A and B are shown apart, each in its own frame.
Chain A
C-alpha cells in the first residue's frame, strides 16, 4: 500500500512513478511528483520504483495567469 495525495492506493508497490502518473492523469506534463517530501525530476520517473508506505504528492497545475 502506498499513499497518494493523502489517500491509500493499492497495487502500486513495485511499479514506477511513471506508471503511477499514467494511472492518475492524462496531463503528465502539468504534474510535478513529490515522493516522501522530495521533488522527483522528470528524467527519474521511469526508474523510481515505489515501495511499501511511500508517500506521494502529485502537484497538478492548471492554466491561467
Chain B
C-alpha cells in the first residue's frame, strides 16, 4: 500500500509542494544541510524560507526561549511564549514542510564549540542578534571551515530605506547581507528583518544551486 499524507499519496504530496519551485532545484536542495546559528528575527525567517524551498536538512542552534518582545518580528506565536526557540521553530517548520529533516541544538555558540557544531554543514548561516557573537562566528568559522560558505546578516534595524540592505562578499566564502550601519538599539521591525533574512536565504539557495551570489 502506498503511504498517505493528509489523505494524499506521499509522493504526490511531495511533488505537489514542488510544483511552483524553480524547475531542476529539488534534488540539489533536498540533499543540502544548512546550519543556522540563531533562531531570532533573522534565523526564524531564514529557516521558513529554506524550509518552504525544500532544503532537505536544517540544523537550528539557539540557546534562548521565546519572550513577548520577540513577537514583533520573530516567527513565533503567542501560544509559544516560554518555549525554547529551537523547539517552537521546529514545530512551525514541520507544518510548512514535513518532508525535511530538522535537528535542533539548544546551546550557546562559543569559539570553543564552533568546530564541533558546524562540522557537518554544507553552508553556515549566521543569524545572531549580538554583534560580538557575529564577529566571533566569522573568526571561528573561517578558522575551522575556510571552505564552507558563510552567510551573515549585518544591519537591518529601524525603518531605514529598504534598498540599503544589500548582499556583499568581503571574502571568497563570506557573504554579508544588511545595510552595515543600523543598530538593534534603534528598534527592529519585521519588514527590514525579513528583507535581510530574504537576502541571506536567497544567497544560500543560489550557493546550493551552483549560482554566483553576486553578479560577476
**A12 within 8 Å of B (CB atoms):** no
**A31 within 8 Å of B (CB atoms):** yes
**A37 within 8 Å of B (CB atoms):** yes
Contacts of B205 in A (CB 8 A): none
Contacts of B170 in A (CB 8 A): 34, 57, 59
* Given A64-B156, A65-B193, residue A59 in contact with residue B138 (CB < 8 A): yes
Contacts of A65 in B (CB 8 A): 38, 40-43, 127-130, 153, 156, 184, 188, 193
Determine if B139 and A41 form an interchain contact, defined as CB atoms under 8 angstroms apart: yes
Contact string against B for A residues 23-65, beta-carbon threshold 8 Å, 1 for contact and 0 otherwise: 0000101111010010101100000000000000101111111
A-B interface, 5 closest residue pairs, ranked by CB to CB distance from nearest: A64-B184, A63-B184, A61-B131, A65-B129, A30-B131
**B15 within 8 Å of A (CB atoms):** no
* Given A30-B132, A31-B135, A32-B135, residue A64 in contact with residue B182 (CB < 8 A): yes
Q: How far is the CB of B93 from chain A (nearest CB, A)?
A: 18
User: Which residues of B does A touch, CB under 8 Å?
Assistant: 38, 40-43, 127-132, 134-135, 138-139, 142-143, 153-157, 170-171, 176, 178, 180-185, 188, 193
With the chains together, A37 CA to B142 CA distance in Å?
12
Determine if B139 and A39 form an interchain contact, defined as CB atoms under 8 angstroms apart: yes
Q: How far is the CB of B157 from chain A (nearest CB, A)?
A: 4
Contacts of B43 in A (CB 8 A): 65
Contacts of B139 in A (CB 8 A): 32, 39, 41-42
The count of A-to-B residue pairs whose CB atoms sit within 8 angstroms is: 75
The listed residue with most A CB atoms (<10 A of its CB), out of B135, B139, B176, B185, is B135
* Given A32-B135, A39-B142, residue A63 in contact with residue B183 (CB < 8 A): yes
User: Which residues of A does B touch, CB under 8 Å?
Assistant: 27, 29-32, 34, 37, 39, 41-42, 57, 59-65
Determine if A62 and B184 form an interchain contact, defined as CB atoms under 8 angstroms apart: yes
Determine if B142 and A63 form an interchain contact, defined as CB atoms under 8 angstroms apart: no
Q: How far is the CB of A6 from chain B (nearest CB, A)?
A: 12
Contacts of B188 in A (CB 8 A): 64-65
With the chains together, A61 CA to B153 CA distance in Å?
9
With the chains together, A29 CA to B129 CA distance in Å?
14
Q: How far is the CB of A38 from chain B (nearest CB, A)?
A: 8
Contacts of A57 in B (CB 8 A): 170
Contacts of B38 in A (CB 8 A): 65
Residue ID in chain A nearest B140 by CB atoms: A41
Contacts of B143 in A (CB 8 A): 39, 41
Contacts of B185 in A (CB 8 A): 63
Contacts of B154 in A (CB 8 A): 61-62
With the chains together, A59 CA to B141 CA distance in Å?
15
